């Protein structure tokens, strides 16, 4: 069989008829499969069920001279701050422990930047004539949406294999209206790229025109290898400080994909000056975050070493799913001569570029057949992928048998959309 | 002994010397006592320790067809929404279940009003030339601070024994810049007043000039009787709807003073249209709040009836403390002929008006002797009590023996400050 691009009209028609027949068979099964979001599977959640009993008596509720059940300690339990400092390589004083959602902490930082300004803001961003924000893409739709929500102009920065295109970043930051950049430095969402040392140093050493430029450093997958050993990462807080940019970076992380996705503990790490500034702001909205859950996590996860050991157990559940994705794409798509995809060693996603101009159609077909995917375009600012090509595959939630069915349908849809395009040329 | 106002200079001096001597004795003990915040006591927290084991196995984690450990259900678990609807007398569809802090939900409503506007806002409040907010005082400092934080002009509305002075409220709402009012309708903080039916109906039927006027209805003490039986309260959501003002009210409540102060579950109740509007806004900042803790609370608290029975057990711990406060004030202050205070049947505070012009001085003396109180003035907008008279007493935290010591010192300080004022006349 020739590859699609080299097929005759008759061959294209024949290939399409074959895929279509298979598609109709699948559709008739009335399936409901989901590869849309980076949700942990039931097996992973069960793996950490010890968390449920980590605090089960009155005596368990005391630590750091504090009764975790009562109000107080807005910055978080000292032991929780020490735990996160251990994971992130920063100092405990450089952390604020939040509720279940690091996204909410990131939202609050940007929200407060708009209403009150950051530590070095000449004025609140909401009073600026224009605010622009750098969005390495493909990237995380929820990041982009936060800055879009507040009216920032989103600027697409292409991702390279070493992280965001730094030449372009260094060009854009000369504009004082450019107030920040979204980064997922380790196993980027969705590309699974680890920013190179050079990229990280170039980011940490930037001298942007905006005095209140914010690197939004979402270290969501900091210990999330599903293949191979734990990969060290630099302490971005210390690095920015070394370059004289101590207050430029806001790092986020959480246990959402370590323990329970919906009931974990999050952290904001930043300079001591920023911690002081944000505690003052946060004190208006909160008396304290959930310290029972903080202590529950510290008791259960213990420290970085133990957490990395736990991540190996998650990896044993995750790795086979990523192998299924790779196998299906290689077996079903590679011979057709279109598309490319990454081969991550951690994180929660496979990023796929299908034939340009066919991503939306392919995912519409998926939906019709009961396979839910992240909407096409979601990985780009404003939800618009100029090439209509990038698709984020999130294989973590379904069990392997379901995933195989979903990938089979997905590949069929990719092929149908590609064939339709070639037939209509 | 004559009352203070009728004493001669010599009598004042003698009385002062006696109080001062006692004060110095107390100070020498190096005490550290706290009547500053409405924090539950250890005995109360121990009373609800069953909460810690309400969810302790994988099987416990499933309800409403949902795995509470995973992402999802931004509005909250259906069973948690039903629980709060039962307590508040509204419909489950009129609730959004939040994290540990109802203050944070209230903050988010005001914050979003500023950046994006409420459902009926002509524009975001941040784009208005001027925003004014009605603050019944004495009131809750953290409420006032939220609107102050966003730059609203705070307008003091005097509290009466039936709630805010409604004649004044009805006058102010003719000004379209007046965008809302803070209310604690049952056992108001700090006065312990229950708004009368007439007040509640006048509030619910208001026709303010601002189309996006917001009644911030903090029902923080909705089931918090410490003396006598549970007192029914009206469903403000339904009432506003009856008067054609369905979208005017935002009700808040939490389990902070039912279960754990630092690790409870909060609720925002409002019209279905407002629920839809806010879920759309909240979806930018959150995937979902902590559903494990929501289900933990539903399993432990069960329903309104069981919750009210639990509140009786809290009452047994709380009531003796409020009796201590009343006894000390009656025995030590009444004979001196100054001051007045309320006699609440629920809530967390005793509101005291000491001799005008002496509250700050009295609390400074307290602090010096190791007794921490809510700062004088805190119960007024901008922290300024024009009479320097109102003091919020929060007797819930210390055990009775400690509370007796604290009240003894507090009364001594009230007397010293009053005597100093009279001596300097």
**A277 shares contact with chain B (CB less than 8 Å):** no
Tell me what pLDDT residue A226 has: 97
Tell me what pLDDT residue B199 has: 98
Distances, alpha carbon A324 to alpha carbons A29, A343, B375, in Å: 21, 12, 63
From B189, B246, B166, select the one nearest B214 (Cα to Cα): B246
Give CA A202 to chain center in angstroms. 22
Contacts of A142 in chain B (CB under 8 A): 284, 287
Peptide bond into A37 cis (omega under 30): no
**B147 shares contact with chain A (CB less than 8 Å):** no
B222 touches B85 (CB < 8 A): no
**A285 shares contact with chain B (CB less than 8 Å):** yes
What is the chain B residue with the closest CA to A68? B262
Distance from CA of A281 to the nearest CA of B (A): 9
Tell me what pLDDT residue A425 has: 80
Distances, alpha carbon A201 to alpha carbons A189, A205, B4, in Å: 20, 6, 72
**B207 shares contact with chain A (CB less than 8 Å):** no
Distances, alpha carbon A127 to alpha carbons A24, A131, A177, B151, in Å: 55, 10, 12, 14
Quick check: helix, strand or coil at residue B217?
Answer: strand
Contacts of A297 in chain B (CB under 8 A): none
**B262 shares contact with chain A (CB less than 8 Å):** yes
Say what the pTM is: 0.97
Tell me what pLDDT residue B93 has: 98
**B103 shares contact with chain A (CB less than 8 Å):** yes
Name the burial class of residue A9, with classes exposed (0-12), middle (13-18) and buried (19+) by CB atoms within 10 angstroms of its CB: exposed
**B8 shares contact with chain A (CB less than 8 Å):** no
A210 touches A176 (CB < 8 A): yes
**pLDDT at position B400 over 80:** yes
- 3-state secondary structure string across A140-196: CHHHHHHHHHCCCEEEEEEEECCEECHHHHHHHCCCCCEEEEEECCCCCCCCCCCCC
Give CA A270 to chain center in angstroms. 19
* Residue B319 neighbours by CB under 8 Å, 6+ apart: B226, B227
Ranges of residues in chain A with a pLDDT under 70 are none
Query: Residue B267 — φ and ψ, nearest 5°?
Result: -145, 140
Rounded distance between C-alpha atoms, residue A24 and residue A84, angstroms: 50
Q: Mind listing the pLDDT tens digit for each residue in B51-85? A: 999 999 999 999 999 999 999 999 999 999 999 99
B98 touches B105 (CB < 8 A): yes
Strand ranges inside B167-272, DSSP E: 178-183, 214-218, 249-254, 266-269
B29 touches B368 (CB < 8 A): no
Tell me what pLDDT residue B1 has: 76
CB spacing of A107 vs B42 below 8 angstroms: no
Name the burial class of residue B197, with classes exposed (0-12), middle (13-18) and buried (19+) by CB atoms within 10 angstroms of its CB: exposed
- Tell which wins on pLDDT, B94 or B424: B94
- Which of B40, B56, B145 minimises the CB distance to A56? B56
Q: Which of the residues A150, A285, A296 would you substitute to probe the B interface, choosing the one with the greatest number of B C-beta atoms within 10 Å?
A: A285
Q: What is the mean pLDDT of residues B129-156?
A: 98
Quick check: helix, strand or coil at residue B351?
Answer: strand
- Which of B103, B146, B260 minimises the CB distance to A292? B260
Residues 39-58, chain A: which have Cβ within 8 Å of B? 39-40, 42, 45-46, 49, 52-53, 55-58
Q: Mind listing the pLDDT tens digit for each residue in B220-244? A: 999 999 999 999 999 999 999 999 9
> Model ipTM?
0.96
**pLDDT at position B342 over 90:** yes
Rounded distance between C-alpha atoms, residue B104 and residue A283, angstroms: 10
**pLDDT at position B160 over 80:** yes
Distance from CA of B137 to the nearest CA of A (A): 19
A251 touches A270 (CB < 8 A): yes
Rounded distance between C-alpha atoms, residue B408 and residue B35, angstroms: 12
Contacts of A288 in chain B (CB under 8 A): 100, 262
- Which of A72, A107, A262 minimises the CB distance to B285? A107
Distances, alpha carbon B243 to alpha carbons B111, B202, B247, in Å: 27, 10, 11
From B201, B220, B251, select the one nearest B94 (Cα to Cα): B251
**A34 shares contact with chain B (CB less than 8 Å):** no
**A292 shares contact with chain B (CB less than 8 Å):** yes
Tell me what pLDDT residue B425 has: 80
**B32 shares contact with chain A (CB less than 8 Å):** no
Buried b (16+ CB within 10 A) or exposed e, B278-303: beebbebbbbbbbbbbbbbbbbbbee
Tell me what pLDDT residue A1 has: 76
């Amino acid at each position: 069989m020739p590859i699609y691009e080299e097929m005759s009209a008759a061959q294209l028609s024949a290939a399409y008829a074959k895929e279509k027949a298979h598609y109709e068979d699948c559709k008739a099964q009335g399936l409901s499969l989901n590869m849309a979001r980076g949700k942990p599977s039931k097996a992973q959640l069960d793996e950490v069920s010890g968390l449920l009993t980590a605090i089960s008596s009155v005596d368990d509720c005391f630590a750091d001279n504090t009764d975790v059940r009562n109000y107080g300690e807005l910055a978080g339990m000292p032991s929780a701050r020490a735990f996160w400092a251990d994971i992130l390589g920063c100092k405990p004083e450089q952390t604020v422990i939040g509720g279940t959602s690091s996204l909410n902490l990131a939202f609050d930082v940007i929200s407060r930047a708009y209403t009150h300004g950051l530590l070095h803001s000449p004025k609140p961003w909401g009073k600026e004539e224009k605010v622009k924000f750098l969005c390495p893409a493909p990237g995380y739709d929820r990041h982009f949406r936060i800055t879009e929500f507040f009216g920032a102009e989103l600027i697409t920065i292409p991702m390279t294999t070493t992280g965001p295109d730094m030449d372009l970043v260094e060009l854009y930051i000369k504009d004082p209206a450019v107030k920040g950049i979204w980064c997922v430095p380790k196993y980027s969402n969705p590309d699974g790229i680890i920013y190179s040392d050079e990229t990280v140093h170039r980011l940490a050493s930037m001298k942007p025109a905006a005095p209140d430029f914010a690197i939004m450093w979402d270290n969501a997958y900091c210990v999330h290898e599903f293949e191979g050993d734990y990969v060290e990462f630099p302490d971005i807080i210390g690095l920015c400080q070394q370059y004289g940019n101590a207050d430029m970076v806001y790092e986020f992380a959480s246990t959402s994909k370590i323990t329970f996705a919906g009931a974990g503990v999050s952290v904001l790490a930043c300079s001591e000056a920023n911690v002081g500034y944000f505690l003052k702001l946060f004190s208006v909205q909160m008396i304290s975050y959930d310290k029972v859950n903080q202590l529950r996590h510290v008791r259960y996860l213990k420290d970085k070493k133990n957490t990395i050991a736990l991540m190996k157990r998650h990896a044993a559940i995750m790795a086979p799913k990523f192998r299924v994705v790779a196998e299906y794409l290689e077996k079903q798509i590679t011979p057709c001569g279109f598309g490319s995809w990454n081969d991550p060693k951690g994180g929660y996603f496979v990023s796929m570029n299908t034939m340009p101009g066919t991503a939306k159609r392919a995912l519409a077909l998926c939906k019709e057949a009961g396979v839910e995917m992240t909407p096409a375009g979601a990985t780009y600012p404003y939800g618009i992928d100029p090439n209509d090509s990038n698709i984020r595959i999130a294989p973590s939630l379904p069990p392997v048998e379901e995933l195989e069915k979903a990938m089979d349908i997905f590949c069929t849809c990719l092929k149908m959309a590609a064939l339709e395009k070639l037939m209509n040329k």
